[in-house]
Structure 1
C-alpha cells in the first residue's frame, strides 16, 4: 500500500524521554499511518494522536515496516518533530493578481522569495492571507472539521466580475461563496482589501465594506491597505500611486463606516493601515480605536502600539547620566516617529546620543517605505563612512524569520563587517526599543 516516500512525514527529531524514543523511533523514520488512517498533514496527525490507544505504522530507512501499539494518556504527545512542519507541501497561488508584490521583485533573488503560497493551513498557523481560489470543498470541510480559526482572507472586492479581473482568475468571483460556508460553520475570519487606485477604491470600496459586514460577527475585522508599488513593474498592469487627497478620502470612508458599525454591531470592524494616515498627514488613531489590534500584523495600528508602549515605559524610568553613542536605521515611514521618540528619551538621559538614519529603499524603489522591506545593500551603501557610534540598531522585521539574513541575502554579519560597527537586532515594540538603547 505504501511505496512512495513522503518527505513531509519523515521524522527529523525525536524528543528525549518521549513516547517515540521509548518505542525506538529515530530520525529518518517515516510515519505511514495512525489507526489505519493515512496522514495528509499536521492537523490529521495532531487530531489522531489524541486517542489513548494508537496503532502506528512506521517505515525505517532500510524499508522495513514496524507496527507499533501505543497506550497513553489522552493529551500525551508522542515527541516527534517532522522534516516538514506542515507534514505536506504548501499550496501555491493560482492567481496572477495585478498588485502581487512577488511579481514586482527583481530576478536573481533566492528561490523561496518567489513562492506564492495560498494555503488555508498557513492562514491558521502563521496568519497568512488566502484568496480562496484554490480551496476545494473538501478542504473547506477539513477547516470546519478541525475548527481552524481564524482564517484570513484576501477579499479585495466583493464585485465578482472585478475580482476575476484583479486576480486574473475566472474562479475568483465565485470562490467568495466559501466565506458563507465558513460563516455558517462558525469559523472566524479576518478580511483584507489591498486597495488599487481606479480599480477597487471609491464606490467599489464602499460596496465591499458593506457586503463584508454581512459576515459579522464571524468576520472579526477588515483591513484596508494601499497597494505596494516597486520599480519592477515592466510588462505588468499599470498601477497609480495614491495621493495625499486619496488617502484622506479613504480614511474618511473608513471612519464613516466605523461609526455605522459601532452603532449597529458595537465594533468598528474596518480599519485603515498606518500608511494611509501618514500619507494623509493625519494623526494615528488612539489605542481604543483599534479594539485590541486584530490586524496589527497587517500594518494596522503598529505605530500606535509602538508609540504607546514607548511612552508608557518611558514614564516609569528614572533618568540618569549614563553615556551612550549609537545609531538606529529604519525606513522612511517610521523615521519621523522614531526621531521624536529619540528626542524625548534623551531629555531623561541627556548623555545618550541617538542618531536616527532614514534608509531609502533604492532596491525596490523609493515608494516602498516600510522597514520590513529594507535590504542589506541599501543599509550598507547609505551608512558607509558615517559615524554610527558604538552600535547600530536594526528592527527585527528586516530579517527572514528565525535567521539573520535580509531580503537580498546579505546577513547582519555582512553589515557589521562592511560598516565596522556592532549590529544589534531590536524587537518591534516600544519597550524593547528603549531597552536596546539603554543597554547598548
Structure 2
C-alpha cells in the first residue's frame, strides 16, 4: 500500500550521495511493486530509508524493511520521496542497468592467459571490460582473483554473509601466481583465502591450466592445498587455457594437445578417486580435456550436482541428460509427412556429441535429415572451438558454402548475448535470418531444446523473452567456457 509520494522539485544532494551512486532501472516487471509505484525505466533509486546504495546487495537488505522511504530521481532531474508499506519478503520487481551502482571494480592484473586481452579489435567496448569484483562473484558466479580486496571488503562479506564466492586460484605457489598474474599482491593467495574463511565465506575455485607452467608438480601442489581447505573450499575446476589469434602478450603460452590432455586426466583422476572415497568428486576437469584426449565425459554422478556448470564443467553431460529426460517425457513422436532437412551449427569441440544425438533422432524420425555444421572460428582463430564464441559472420559464411536442401537451421543460443538476440560481432539474429529467407533459424540452449527441435521441428520455437540482461555482464557471458 502506497502511503505518500512527495515531489522534491529542487534536485538536492542527499547526505549519502557523495559516497553512493544511483541504481538506474532498466526494466520494470509487470504486476510488480515497482509498477504499482509507477516507476519506469530510466528512473534512478538514490536512497532507501536514508541509506545510500552501492549495489543490489545494499538494495536487497534495505528493502527487507516493511516501511520504505525511497528517494527516486526521474529522467527530467526531478526527485521525489515515495513512502510505502510492503510485505517483508516482497521484492521491488525491477532489473537494473548494472548490478553494481558505484561501478565495476576492474581487474588490476595482467595475466599471461587473460582472454579479454585476446578479444578481436573493433568489437563492442563492453567486451573489453575486465571485472574483478567480489560482488559479481557472489551474485553471478564471476571468478575473482581477490588481488584488489582489502579489510573493508572482507568485513562486508562477513556482515552480509556473502557466500559462496568463486575464486581464480590458478596456482598455490605464491611466487608463480604473482608471476602469472603479473601482480605482486597475487602472492598472498593463501592469506586471502584465510580472510575469506575468517569472514565465514565458502568458495569454489578455478585453475586455468597452462601447459608447462602451472601443470605437473605445480598442479599437484595446488590440488593438495585446496583440498586441505575443505569444507570452506567447495570445489576445484581445472580448465585448459584458451588462446585466440589476437593474443599479443610476449609470454609464450601453449595449449594442450591430445597427449597432454590425457596426462592431465590421468593425474587428476588419482586425486578424484581418493576424494570420492569420502563421498564427493570435488575436483572437476573442463569438458575440453576429454574432447582433446578422445575420451567420453564422465557420468552424471561424477559431477556432484554440477556446482560449476556455468564454468563449462559438466556442460556436455548435462546437455546429454537434458536430451534423455526430454526423450523419456516426450512420448511417441508424430512422424514427419515430408522430409525435414536441418543444419545444426556448433563449435568444433562438441560436434561429435551433437552428431551422436542427431543419429538417435534420425532413427526415430525416418524423414529427418540432420547435417552437423562444425563452424571453424575464423574470427578468434581455429584454436577457439566452443560454440559460445562463434560469430554471425563465421556462421553465415560457412552455411552459405554448403549446398543441398535445408528446411531449417539450429544455432547455439550461447553465441547470443544474454537477454538480446545479438551475436558477438554485433550482428542481430534478425539480420542472420534475412540471409537465409528460405530457412527458419531457431536457437538451441539445452539438450531438451535440441531434442524438441529435431523431433518436433514444425512446432519448435525458442522464446528468449524475460532473460536477465545486465550491461556489465557481456564479458563474463562470452568468456565462460560454454560448449554448445
**Fold match, TM over 0.5?**
yes
| Structure 1 residue runs without a partner (length 5+) | none
Separation in structure 2 between the aligned mates of residue 119 and residue 36 of structure 1, nearest angstrom: 26
Give me the whole-angstrom Cα distance separating, in 1, the residues matched to 2:367 and 2:122. 45
State yes or no: 1:306 paired with 2:306: no
Compared with structure 1, are the counterparts of its residues 178 and 313 closer, same or farther at alpha carbon in structure 2 (3 Å cutoff)?
same
Quote the residue 1:400 is aligned against: 417
Taking the aligned partners of 1:173 and 1:298, their CA distance within structure 2 comes to: 24
Q: Which residue of 2 aligns with 1:274?
A: 287
1:368 to 375, 379, 384: 384
1:168 aligned to 2:182?
yes
- Residue 394 (structure 2) pairs with residue 378 (structure 1): yes
Pairing 1:284–2:300 present:
no
CA distance in 1, matches of 2:229, 2:183: 24
> Once the two structures are superposed, what CA deviation does each residue of 1:280-321 show, in whole Å capped at 9, x if it has no partner?
111211111111111122121111121233234335543553
- Aligned-pair distance for 1:11? 4.5
Query: Given the alignment of the two structures, is residue 53 of structure 1 paired with residue 70 of structure 2, yes or no?
Result: no
Residue equivalent to 1:435: 452
Seen in structure 2, the aligned counterparts of structure 1 residues 384 and 191 have a Cα distance that, compared at 3 Å, is same
Equivalents in 2 of 1:17, 1:419: separation in Å?
38
> SS state of the match for residue 222, structure 1?
strand
Q: Structure 1 residues 293-302 or 50-59, which shifts more? A: 50-59
**Alignment match, 1:32:** 46
Alignment correspondent of 2:368: 352
- Please state how far the C-alpha of 1:181 moved relative to its aligned partner: 2.4
Distance 1:73 1:331, change over 3 A: closer
Shift of the 244–29 alpha-carbon distance from structure 1 to 2, 3 Å rule, reads closer
Other-structure match for 2:474: none
CA distance in 1, matches of 2:254, 2:313: 22
Q: 2:347 aligns with which of 317, 331, 335?
A: 331
> Distance in 2 between the 1:291 and 1:385 partners?
42
Alignment-derived partner of residue 427 in structure 2: 410
Asked whether the equivalents of residues 426 and 433 of structure 1 are also in contact (C-alpha less than 8 Å), the reply is no
Structure 2 regions of 5+ residues with no counterpart?
1-12, 458-484
Across the aligned residues of Structure 1 and Structure 2, the Cα RMSD in angstroms comes to 2.5
Question: Are residues 1:141 and 2:159 paired?
Answer: no
Asked whether 1:178 is paired with 2:195, we answer no
Matched residue SS, 1:237: coil
Q: Secondary structure at the match of 1:173?
A: helix
Residues 401-440 of structure 1: CA deviation (Å, up to 9, x unaligned): 1111111122222222223443433333222101012232
Distance 1:320-1:79 versus aligned 2 partners, 3 A rule: closer
When structure 1 is superposed on structure 2, of 350-359 and 17-26 the one drifting more is 17-26
Deviation at 1:147, TM superposition (A): 1.6
SS of residue matched to 2:244: coil
Distance 1:437 1:185, change over 3 A: same
Contact 2:157 2:199 survives alignment (8 Å):
no
Which region of structure 1 is more displaced relative to structure 2, 153-162 or 229-238? 229-238
- Provide the rounded CA distance (Å) in 1 between the counterparts of 2:40 and 2:365: 55
Number of aligned residues:
439
Tell me by how many angstroms 1:190 deviates. 0.8
Instruction: Give the distance between the partners of 1:17 and 1:370, measured in 2 at CA.
Output: 39
Query: Could you tell me how far apart the structure 2 residues matched to 1:431 and 1:246 are?
Result: 33
Task: Confirm or deny: 8 A CA contact 2:204 2:233 kept in the other structure.
Answer: yes
1:332-351 Cα shifts (integer Å, max 9, x gaps): 11111111111121111111
Question: Following the alignment from structure 2 to structure 1, what is the Cα–Cα distance between the partners of residues 432 and 128?
Answer: 24
Cα distance, 1:12 vs. partner? 5.0
Q: Distance in 2 between matches of 1:16 and 1:383?
A: 40
Which residue matches 1:245?
259
The one of 220, 242, 245 aligned to 1:228: 242
- Change in Cα spacing, 1:381 to 1:186, as seen in structure 2 (3 Å) is same
Paired with 2:286 and 2:139, the residues of 1 have a C-alpha distance of: 23
Cα distance, 1:406–1:388 mapped onto 2, change above 3 Å: farther
